[in-house]
Each structure stands twice: as C-alpha cells, then as structure tokens.
C-alpha cells in the first residue's frame, strides 16, 4: 500500500469510529405512547435528561423519576465501568440529545453508545430486568471451540464478580488461555437492580453464549439492564 492509501485508510477508520461515537451502537423507540410538543411531558423529559447529564458522570450511574402522573417520566443513564467522568458526561449529553431526535415525541426510548446507555419511559421500570431491549455486536473472526468454552466460563466468573459489588456492578479482567493468548472481558449491570437480579440478568445473557457467540473471537451483548463483552485483545480503557 502506498503512503497516501495508508493515510486514507487510517482516515476512514477514524471517520468510522467518529461516526460510531456520534450515532451510537443501537437504539429502540418504545411504543408506550407519544407526547405533544411543548407539553408537560416534554418539559419533564428535558429536566430528566439534564439531571442525568449532571448526576451520572461522578459515579457512572444516575436515575430519577420526574413529574406527576400522567406526565411522569422515569429515566436512567449508565456509563461503561472504565470511562472517565468527562467521557461519561460527553456520552450522556450526546445520547440524550440524539435519542430524542431518533425517537421524536416518543414517551419511551433506549440508546446505547460505546461509552453509555440512556433509557427513559412513562412506565416505571426501575428494579426490573429489561430483557426486551437487546442487541449484539460481533467480532466476526473465527475462534476455536476451546477459546469459546473458556470465554464463556470467564464471563461467568466476571458475572459473579460484578453482581457481588453493587456500588459499581462492574467487573473486568483478563485470563491467559494458551501460551500468549488471552481473553479480555467485562460485565456490567444497571444499578437499579438488586444483587440477585444483576446476577440473573448477566447469567441470562451468558446462557445464550452458544447461540450468540460460539466460535467468535469477540462479542458484545447488551440488554437494557446488563451487558458483557469479551475479546482476544485489550479494550478496557482504564
């Protein structure tokens, strides 16, 4: 490859990662109703997003219900366990703005970015495992059966570790599988769940490992309440 072709390749990669940061990984607009422009639900939603943008960054998690029925809105934001407060804030602000453009006038929506998750609804959802909203991102490279079994086993350990620690509900780590080959993993739950529901949520995702992730070198599996990621390269930021 010539220098300029390498440069444009690098440029495209950078552009792709910027676009991913700007638009997020996935979103879902809920069908629990619509609100009208300038009405009380919109005012509560604006207040909620503002609250989450300032309350989430210090600890990586924020949640609140704002307003009275029938205009009450419930929301939460969760940042990846390894992002800085600054990146957390950037992510929640961006996600909060974008999701309202992507799901205009919808009373409920959820969006995932690389660094954070933002969810809101007119229907209370705190403390309930959200299995409805779900998606995966794959590393399509093929891995061996042995690598898959070890990845699944390692994620189960990380699920135990994350759920045992309710102040963060987050765990990450690496294991050596073969000579110099390592598996890197992370698990995380939203902090409105109980310890047992965090474990149940993660175990539920990991149970599907043979379906979602068999013989893949890496994958990220997200639900509205928990997620895991494993790769054969380091990806944890801090």
For ligand NAG, the closer of residues 105 and 135 by Cβ is 135
Residue with tokens 């660094």: 115
**For ligand NAG, which is the closer residue by CB, 51 or 135?**
135
178 dihedral zone (left: phi>0; alpha: psi -120 to 50; beta): beta
CB of 119 to ligand NAG, least distance (A): 11
Q: In whole angstroms, how close is the CB of 57 to ligand NAG at the nearest point?
A: 26
- Smaller CB distance to ligand NAG: residue 133 or 232? 133
Q: Which residue number has the CB closest to ligand NAG?
A: 28
Residues that bind ligand NAG (CB under 6 A): 28, 30-31, 132-135
> Under a CB-based contact definition with an 8 Å cutoff, are residues 183 and 235 in contact?
no
Closest-CA residue to 32 (of 102, 124, 100, 122):
122
Least distance (Å) between residue 85 CB and ligand NAG? 28
CB contact at 8 A, 141 and 52: no
CA-to-CA distance for 84 and 107, rounded, in angstroms?
30
Cβ proximity to ligand NAG, 28 vs 56, nearer residue:
28
């Amino acid at each position: 490859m010539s220098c300029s072709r390498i440069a444009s390749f690098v440029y495209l990669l950078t552009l792709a990662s910027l676009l991913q940061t700007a638009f997020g990984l996935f979103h879902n607009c809920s069908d629990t109703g619509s609100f009208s422009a300038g009405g009380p639900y919109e005012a509560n939603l604006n207040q909620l997003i503002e609250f989450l943008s300032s309350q989430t960054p210090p600890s990586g998690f924020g949640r609140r219900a704002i307003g009275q029925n029938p205009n009450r809105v419930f929301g939460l934001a969760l940042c990846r366990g390894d992002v800085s407060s600054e990146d957390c804030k950037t992510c929640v602000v961006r996600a909060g703005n974008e999701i309202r453009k992507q799901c205009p006038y919808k009373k409920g929506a959820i969006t995932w970015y690389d660094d954070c998750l933002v969810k809101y609804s007119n229907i209370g959802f705190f403390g309930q495992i959200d299995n409805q909203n779900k998606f995966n991102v794959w590393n399509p490279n093929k891995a061996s059966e042995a690598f898959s079994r070890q990845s699944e086993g390692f994620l189960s350990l990380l699920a135990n570790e994350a759920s045992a620690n309710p102040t963060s509900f987050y765990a990450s780590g690496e294991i050596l599988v073969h000579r110099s080959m390592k598996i890197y993993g992370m698990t995380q739950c939203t902090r409105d769940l109980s310890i047992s529901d965090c474990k149940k949520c993660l175990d539920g995702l990991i149970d599907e490992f043979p379906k979602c992730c068999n013989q893949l070198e890496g994958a990220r599996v997200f639900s509205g309440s928990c997620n895991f990621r494993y790769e054969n390269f380091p990806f944890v930021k801090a």
